Chains A and B, each alone.
Chain A
Amino acid sequence: MTPLHHIGNFIRDLVVQIPLWCVRALFVGTLIAVFLWVLRLPRETTTPENATHWYQNLKVWACLALAIQILIYSIF
């Protein structure tokens, strides 16, 4: 056994204890965090100059992509 084996075994024993519902919360929580970050982006960084329509705001489409992800990871 090398020192790397000891470190690996220690970490492995630790993560195996984490229940899968916590892991799911971690996955979904990460996606929700990105979703909220996108919502808070200033409008000038997400729309082209002279934008006149809501669908020209990239925030809408980024949020849609993330919402689908949140749904998928909540179910499967």
Chain B
Amino acid sequence: MQTLAALDYAIILVYLIGTLALGLYIGSKIKTGSDYFLAGRRLPWWAIGMSLVATDIGAVDIVGTGGAAYQHGMAVGNFEWIGCVPAMIIGAFVFIPFFWRSGVYTIPEYMERRFNVAVRSALAVCWIIFMACNLGIMLLASAKMMHVHLGMTVNQCIYLTAFLVGVYTISGGLAAVVYTDMIQCIVMIGGCLLVLVLGVIDLGGIESFHTKIKAQEQIQRQKQVADTAKEKTASAAQGELHTSLILPADADTPFPWTGIFFGLALILSPSYWIGNQAIVQRSLGARSEFDAKAAYIWGALLKNLIPVIVAVPGLIAFVKFPELTDGDQAFPELISHLLPVGLKGLFLAAFLAALMSSIDSYLNSASTIVTNDFYKRFYRKNASDESLLKIGRIVTLLLVFWAIGFSFFLMSRSEGIYTIFQTLMAFFQGPALAILLTGLLWKRATGIAAFIGFFTGVCFSITLFTLNQEPVYTALGIDPLFQISEPFLYFSIWAFVVSFSLIVIISFLTKPEPSEKIEGLVFGTKSQKRIG
């Protein structure tokens, strides 16, 4: 096991001190809740765009996507390509300007204006659970990798990361998050690019890499053919190439084209880019409507690069270390073997950057939801902007403690990091998209229908997940519902279909919302001016 040299530590230290200093400097300018949660609505497009990418590509993705690419091939790149770019562009021109003009702090807040408080609370609770769990997952992902290189225990790694992110997020709120994310985005792309370039050089160049991966694919395919337990069609075996983005529907992978297209591109991705508080909150803090749109387009352009620097190293590991049993070890192994002194420190700084940029965003957004959708909504309706700042900081601190505790809990689990993350999202992203689309696009959608549709959709996806667990279907004496190993993309499709259908049916059976209530909140109603 290789450890870091003094130069590596120096590079990491410089990066960490720089990030902390910037966060604390921005924190010194924060005076109100609006400054804290929406950066005083003064953010430029270039900073938001890079922050969007940095938030979306966390340490979970570097380790998890690299690991998934190692195990299942380039199809994991779909999450950053068709799973991001079209939704970001449609979001930029259609949905984001709409939210920006409404002047809301959170997406659940919009839901109360459009539907009712029950829909707002249900959505806010789901986001809080998702973000809180994610905080723990992200801390654990970092610890899994850092303890190998830093010579620290997993617990020490968790404490260190939580402390660093906590300090600048508590101090500077959204502005600190966005501007540090911007630096983290540059460091992260630079660091991952380094691993990619050195990896390709190590394999003898692009041509040699291409030849070696084809050879490795042949070996893998021969193994699959020899495996009589797996009954595949000839087309499925032929289509399952490590370099293919589009995999057959019956392929032995979590990423068959049906899940990618219907589950990811049509459901999870739009739901994430137009309904995820941690993502949308940045554009709500934009200094103008144009900046809010431009940030998403800039982010979409950067997204084109991400699978190349994150997933391709997984393919390099596939060629270089074909004997690995755990895909999540692909990236750490590459770093151990490829990077010399100094560059290893730079990559670890990049990894820390990816980790911090996601944790700080979820901390800030979870705090925004707790403060605005629960504290202000139910406890202190007339709370001053200054008191909201204080509450926001306290909530952020409590969330840091929670994240530490939850990451310790997760340590005893063995499931792949990426799978846990995606399954959590898939439980409610489909129903969330159903209420968002019907709320924004259909005047006839009612609050009761939205609540029942959302609640039933979430319960339905959890039921599908439960029925697909081996102890459950064995006890019930039935076959698993889904035949692929990790069917999280399918949960979101069916949950969306159930929610959407229920919302439409129940809306027709219930009294329409008064037109004055939904004015300016639905497309086709009176056009909005910026509120607040």
Contacts and interface: CB of A to CB of B under 8 A. Distances in A.
Please say whether chains A and B are actual partners in one complex: yes
Interface of A: 1-2, 4-5, 8, 12, 15-16, 18-20, 23-24, 26-27, 30-31, 34, 37-38, 41, 45-49, 58, 61-62, 64-66, 68-69, 72-73, 76
Interface of B: 74, 81-82, 85-86, 89-90, 92-93, 97, 233, 235, 239, 243-246, 248-250, 257-258, 261, 265, 288, 290, 293-294, 297-298, 300-301, 303-304, 467, 478-479, 481-483
Given A48-B290, A72-B245, A34 B89 contact: yes
B86 A16 contact: no
A69 B249 contact: no
30 contacts: A2-B478, A5-B479, A15-B258, A16-B248, A18-B249, A20-B235, A27-B82, A30-B82, A30-B86, A30-B265, A34-B86, A34-B89, A34-B90, A38-B89, A38-B93, A41-B93, A46-B93, A46-B293, A47-B290, A48-B288, A49-B290, A58-B93, A58-B290, A58-B294, A64-B301, A65-B89, A65-B301, A69-B81, A69-B82, A69-B86
A49 B306 CA distance: 32
B86 A31 contact: yes
Contacts of A64: 301
Contact of A5 (B82, B235, B290, B478): B478
Closest 10 CB pairs of A and B: A48-B290, A65-B300, A76-B245, A15-B249, A68-B304, A65-B301, A62-B89, A34-B86, A23-B257, A61-B297
B379 to A, nearest CB: 40
B301 A16 contact: no
Given A24-B246, A37-B90, A58-B293, 11 more contacts: A1-B478, A4-B481, A12-B483, A16-B248, A31-B86, A34-B90, A48-B288, A62-B300, A65-B304, A73-B81, A73-B246
B100 to A, nearest CB: 13
Contacts, number: 100
A69 B478 contact: no
A1 B479 CA distance: 7
A8 B82 contact: no
Contact of A26 (B243, B244, B261): B261
Nearest to A8: B481
| Candidate in A48, A61, A65 with the most chain B CB atoms within 10 angstroms | A65
Nearest to B86: A34
A45 to B, nearest CB: 6
Contacts of B89: 34, 38, 62, 65-66
B479 A58 contact: no
B92 A62 contact: yes
Nearest to B302: A65
Contacts of B74: 76
A66 B85 CA distance: 7
Contacts of A45: 93, 97
B457 to A, nearest CB: 15
A41 B90 CA distance: 11
Nearest to A75: B245
Contacts of B90: 34, 37
Nearest to A20: B239
**Which residue among B90, B246, B301, B481 has the maximum number of chain A CB atoms within 10 Å of its CB?**
B246
Contacts of A20: 235, 239, 246, 248, 257
A61 B290 CA distance: 14
A46 B221 CA distance: 48
A5 to B, nearest CB: 6
Given A24-B246, A61-B297, A73 B233 contact: no
B492 to A, nearest CB: 15
